[in-house]
Amino acid sequence: MKKILHISIALFIIGVFPGCNNPTGSLSDLPEVMFRDSLITFQHDWEKVAGGALNLSFQLDKPAGKDGFPELKGGHFYTPSGERLRIWGVNLTGGACYPEKEDAPKVAELLAALGINAVRFHFLDSDWGDQSTIFSPDASTTQKFNPEQLDKLDYFVSELKKQGIYSNFNLNVGRNFREGDNVPFHRFLGLAKAVTLFDDRIIELQKKYAYKLLTHENRYTGNQYRNEPALAFVEIVNENSLVEAWFRGHLEGTHNSTRTSTWIDIPEYYANELTEKYNRWLEENLAENDLENLRSLPGLKPGDPVPRLKNDEFSNASDLRFYSEARFIMETENAFYSGMYRFLKDSVKAKQWVAANSDHNHWKSGYALLSSASKLDFVDGHVYWQHPRYFRDKETGRQTFSIDNTPMVNDPWFSTVAQLSRSAVAGKPYTVSETNHPFPNEYACEGIPILAVYALLQDWDGIYFYTFEHADPSEWKTKTPGYFDIMHDPVKLGNLASASLMFHRGDIGAAQTTVLRNYTEKQVIEGIREGGDNRPFFTPGLDPFTPLVYKTRINSFSEGENDFPEIIAEDQVRSETGELQWHYGNDRGLVVINTPKTQGLVGYSEKMNEVSTENIEVNILNPFASVFLTSIDGNDLERSGKMLLTFTAGSTLTGSEWNAERTTLEEWGTLPFMIEPVAGTITLKGVKRAGSLKVTPLDPNGYLRESLPVVRLGRDKAVFSAGGVPAIWYLIEK
């Protein structure tokens, strides 16, 4: 073992100092390297990536939907030919949904080269400028489409289809109503969250929009969108729930300003409308004595409407009052989803699979929302690891943010895996249409690999990362990325591509055991006013490690008993399949991936250097990294003739500067991106014909560089070093 270690160190010196051809020595020969500060410019040119050595588009069936719409069998999506369809997707947001025609084919080719097989079109209806919305700029109404924008969208969808990439349209996300829409107090509504679910006029406008868009014929495909199999999915609303608005305190009617934001209280006009609907519901659904009980609340005069609860009144409200209003809120939300669904299916005759909304607020119970959303074709969830908290700096007056900036590997019980696992429902496909480790988290290299492998353990049906870009592609080379734009980030882009191979193939086996969770109606309703102490599952008796071991699904929202397994975990938890291990002790977390076709180590190198998988050992000098080895040709790693090693650590923008606590940036930075190169050695073991291995680092665009020295240590064992040249991808061939 000591001899191998010295060979590994020697190879590191060869990599860093190419003139050192006959190295001898020990650890003391290595220069001291502060890898956190050793950042190197590593920026790709998006127009060149598809032409590189690493084009993964061979995974995609072209064109998308060539045999018809995807089918739904046994709670999962399948192609008509019977192949499992797993969505490995990205969002395109606002202006990115409308590329110029000269750019659209290049964007489609780029996405296909990265292994992306679906695009979620987000904020098609934005209010971010003429080139970022479907609505006509010179109209007084949002009922008129901009024909130029619609034509660009049509062409882009057709180019994605050619490359084997499905589309997902979000119907209501960023629509800001205009004077001609005849929406009262439209300037006070902003995104009109919550109001879109109960106001009759706004629901009517949503139906008109859906009909107009989905019956539009795309002249480049020859199909109306409702009949277009490459448009496989539709989402009715985005992160927009009446239940959530209620417990957030956004149904109280206090907003009377044109200054709006994502979530605001509704104007008084709409609060009064909701109260009127509530009182009609009480008359239709409550027994006379219960109704009289509510009408005798202190301060009410004869004929006064029963007032709705404010969120700070929840805890002290009687069960009659709280449960009555909770049922009204839930039934109103359910009526909206079911009404829109029936309109899409019966009036529009749309053939797409339809989702209602996404379960996205993980600081409160989501079961009241899910009880309605799960009645549609598939269920969806959103989560971010340490979403930025925005605020205005009191000293400078500058809008800024903060994050905890800690690694997820140290927090498995509240990881993205655990949070998202609460939303999946038995018998329904489950997708995650938004997720990310938002910039500038220093541990973002962990995000994509960990979520991908556990999504397969959970047998989910798709992930869309948020977001590939917000801007039109013509701006991609100059625009400074924001918190969520992943296109520019070499670490996220590198892991996005490499993980596509194992995700499409399903390299990690699904757990055989499914832990079913049953909730009574009382539990669902009480979850609305429950605090956040029992997150993310809000389920007494359920071990928080459950989703790291078994599949878990909601079985019922109305009845049933639970029998949860006990999980023994001291400093690590192993999946039921044995292919995944999550070490979390001593604040030195590590996820170990060990399957025939894909293996990896993600987390602290202090722990990483102590363990190994079936075919790889590492000696990494960086404090934190992701090492991910996967087969390209589909053979097991021991006999694969073509493999991809993805080796990532930190990344940041040029000139970015942290505060002393590393919780916010004092300087945001600009392009190009810089990476913290991963340095150390990789030993491949149990690999047939190890002596014939050729290891070639790729440049930022995925083009071949000069091959690295490889030393054979035995019949089936070889070692090489990384770190001599900056790289995130290494092509390994025999």
pLDDT band at 371 (very low <50, low <70, confident <90, very high): very high
Cβ neighbors of 641 (< 8 A, separation 6 or more) are 633, 635, 733, 734
pTM: 0.94
Length of the chain: 734
User: For 335-352, what is the mean pLDDT?
Assistant: 98
Does 14 have pLDDT greater than 50? no
Helix/strand/coil for 148: helix
Per the DSSP assignment, residues forming a β-bridge with 17 are none
Does 290 have pLDDT greater than 70? yes
Q: How is residue 220 written in tokens?
A: 């480049």
Cα torsion 675, 681, 687, 689: sign: positive
Q: pLDDT tens across 544-578, in order?
A: 999 999 999 999 999 989 999 999 888 999 999 99
Provide the 8-state DSSP code for 241: -
The pLDDT, as a whole number, for residue 23 is 31
The pLDDT, as a whole number, for residue 395 is 80
Q: Tokens 């008993």 correspond to what residue?
A: 561
- The answer to whether 79 touches 67, Cβ cutoff 8 Å, is yes
Helix/strand/coil for 696: strand
Q: How is residue 637 written in tokens?
A: 């790693």
Q: pLDDT tens across 581-619, in order?
A: 999 988 999 999 999 999 999 999 999 999 999 999 999
- Please give the CATH topology (third level) of the domain spanning 82-378: TIM Barrel (3.20.20)
User: For 687-694, what is the mean pLDDT?
Assistant: 92
CA distances from 700 to 54, 55, 525, 728 (A): 11, 13, 51, 8
Side-chain-side CA neighbours of residue 50 (13 Å): 16
Residues of CATH 2.60.220 domain(s) within the chain?
Answer: 28-45+572-733
Q: pLDDT tens across 634-671, in order?
A: 999 999 999 999 999 999 999 999 999 999 999 999 99
pLDDT band at 394 (very low <50, low <70, confident <90, very high): confident
- The answer to whether 505 touches 597, Cβ cutoff 8 Å, is yes
Q: How is residue 265 written in tokens?
A: 């209280």
Cα torsion 517, 590, 4, 714: sign: positive
Most distant CA pair in the chain, distance: 97
Is the peptide bond preceding residue 672 cis, with omega within 30 degrees of 0?
yes
Using CA atoms of 541, 585, 483, 364 in order, give the dihedral in degrees to the nearest 10: 10
The pLDDT, as a whole number, for residue 691 is 86
Q: pLDDT tens across 26-68, in order?
A: 333 323 333 445 899 999 999 999 999 999 999 999 999 999 9
- The answer to whether 115 touches 50, Cβ cutoff 8 Å, is no
Cβ neighbors of 657 (< 8 A, separation 6 or more) are 665, 666, 667, 669
CA distances from 715 to 51, 273, 340, 485, 694 (A): 35, 78, 64, 45, 16
Provide the 8-state DSSP code for 347: I
Residues of CATH 3.20.20.80 domain(s) within the chain?
Answer: 82-378
Percent of the chain with pLDDT over 70: 95
What is the C-alpha separation between 257 and 271, in angstroms, rounded? Answer: 15
Provide the 8-state DSSP code for 301: P
What is the C-alpha separation between 442 and 446, in angstroms, rounded? Answer: 10
The pLDDT, as a whole number, for residue 30 is 29
> What one-character-per-residue DSSP string does 181-237 give?
G--TTGGGTTT-TTGGGT-HHHHHHHHHHHHHHHT-EETTTTEEGGG-TTEEEEEEE
Q: Classify the phi-psi angles of 106: left when phi > 0, otherwise alpha if psi is within -120 to 50, otherwise beta.
A: alpha
pLDDT band at 725 (very low <50, low <70, confident <90, very high): confident
Percent of the chain with pLDDT over 90: 91
Q: Using H for helix, E for strand and C for coil, what is the string for 353-366?
A: EEECCCECCCCCCC
Does 6 have pLDDT greater than 70? no
Using CA atoms of 127, 129, 132, 138 in order, give the dihedral in degrees to the nearest 10: 90
What is the C-alpha separation between 352 and 404, in angstroms, rounded? Answer: 40
Name which CATH class applies to 28-45+572-733: mainly beta
The pLDDT, as a whole number, for residue 16 is 40
Does 18 have pLDDT greater than 80? no
The pLDDT, as a whole number, for residue 31 is 34
Backbone angles phi, psi at 529, to 5 degrees: -105, 5
User: For 120-137, what is the mean pLDDT?
Assistant: 97
